Amino acid sequence: MRKQDLLGRWTLRQWTQAYDDGRVTHPMGQAPRGFIQYDDDRMFCMIERADRRAFATGGQWNASAEEKARAYESFMSYAGTYELAGDEVRQHVDMSLFPNWEGGVQRRKAAIVDGLLHLSARLEDGTPEARTASLVWERASRAITS
């Protein structure tokens, strides 16, 4: 993977998790929305379910606990610096909706196939939940709209 091939904004097309026991899931639904952007030395990523519901009980600070939990479960975002090491992108996380990622490194195998960016990671190896997360991204030609 060359840095110049990675640079820019990519729009999410698919996110699947293939479990070692044969299950396949879509963590943000069948048609997730999102983007990842790589600049010279920094990156950021935002992903959401396409069917997120607006809060009915209040604003972002006084919504019900259930609404806040639903919002958390239907959105993710993180940002930081990154480096390339062969076919691996190492994302050094500064900020994340999931606070446990902050200060850590998210490692992704990276490949560009037919113009699409494929990022994948092994998760929870050695457990019954062991799986491969695979995200497919298309280079964005303009601001994200869908």
Q: Model confidence at 142, in pLDDT bands (50, 70, 90)?
A: low
Average pLDDT for residues 49-60, to the nearest whole number?
A: 90
Q: pLDDT at residue 137 above 70? A: yes
Domain locations in the chain? 3-54+61-139
> 34 burial class (0-12, 13-18, 19+ CB within 10 angstroms)?
buried
Dihedral, 34, 69, 43, 137 alpha carbons, nearest 10: -30
Query: Which pair of structure tokens corresponds to residue 135?
Result: 């995200």
Range 3-54+61-139 has CATH code 2.40.128.280: yes
DSSP code at position 52: P
- Sequence-distant (≥ 6) Cβ neighbours of residue 143 within 8 angstroms: none
Pairing of strands 131-139, 105-113: unpaired
pLDDT in tens, 66-110: 999 999 999 999 999 999 999 999 999 999 999 999 999 999 999
